[in-house]
């Protein structure tokens, strides 16, 4: 782990990411007790330049991944959204034993609609989150480099 890594402020997220990485994705690989698989996304902080990590729902299609900036339907985007937009080529995903480099882009229109449908199929609660907020929840797509 890089010396400039700033772990999540949430203990359960810190613990999950640590366990997932240490076990090569064999442990802590679902969202709590839901059974829904997760991925670990590593990025550069837009303000600090430090390494940041998050666990997100695993929404994969043809080797690409949707990163849904839902924040539980809050009125604002999660902080990590800004990080990904600021440095879309300084991102990696771990979906199993080892991380790999990706490039991230925000999708709109029909492409967003297709990815949103995939995301809701994996985690139906995303639809509830969208109903809770006036913002359109951003969907970013991570493609292996």
- CATH number of this structure's domain 11-144, picked from the four choices 3.40.190.10, 2.30.110.10, 2.30.30.60, 2.40.30.10: 2.30.110.10
Q: Pairing between strand 99-106 and 64-68?
A: unpaired
Mean pLDDT by 10 residues, the chain (145 residues): 82 96 96 93 96 97 98 96 98 97 98 98 97 97 98
Q: Please name which of 28, 38, 64 lies closest in space to residue 122, comparing C-alpha atoms.
A: 38
Length of the chain: 145
- The structure's pTM equals 0.95
- CA 14-128-15 angle, to 5 degrees, is 10
């Amino acid at each position: 782990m890089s010396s400039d890594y700033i772990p999540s402020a949430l203990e359960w997220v810190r613990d999950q990411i640590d366990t997932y990485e240490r076990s090569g994705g064999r442990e802590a690989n679902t969202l709590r007790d839901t059974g829904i698989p997760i991925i670990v996304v590593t990025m550069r902080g837009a303000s600090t330049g430090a390494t940041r990590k998050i666990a997100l729902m695993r929404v994969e299609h043809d080797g690409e991944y949707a990163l849904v900036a839902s924040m539980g339907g809050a009125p604002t985007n999660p902080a990590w959204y800004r990080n990904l937009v600021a440095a879309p080529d300084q991102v990696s995903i771990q979906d199993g034993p080892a991380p790999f480099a990706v490039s991230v882009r925000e999708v709109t229109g029909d492409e967003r609609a297709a990815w949103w449908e995939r995301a809701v199929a994996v985690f139906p609660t995303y639809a509830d989150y969208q109903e809770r907020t006036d913002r359109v929840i951003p969907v970013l797509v991570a493609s292996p480099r």
